[in-house]
Amino acid sequence: MAQSGRGYLKMRTQTIKSIGRITLIIVAAVLGLHSIYALAQSEQHPLAPPELTSPRDTLRSFMTLMDNAYHISVGRRKAELTQIARNAGRLPV
Tens place of pLDDT for every residue, the chain, 93 residues?
445 667 777 777 888 888 888 999 999 988 888 877 776 666 667 777 877 889 999 999 889 889 988 888 888 888 888 888 788 776 665
Q: How many CA atoms lie within 13 A of 89 on its CB side?
A: 0
In this structure, how many other beta carbons lie within 10 angstroms of the beta carbon of residue 60? 13
The pLDDT, as a whole number, for residue 78 is: 83
H-helix segments, 2-89: 2-40, 55-87
Give the H or E element holding residue 45: none
The pLDDT, as a whole number, for residue 42 is: 63
Domain boundaries, the chain: 1-42, 46-93
The pLDDT, as a whole number, for residue 51 is: 77
Q: How far apart are CA 20 and CA 29, in angstroms?
A: 14
Handedness of CA 55, 61, 67, 69 (dihedral sign): negative
Instruction: Measure CA 92 to chain center.
Output: 38
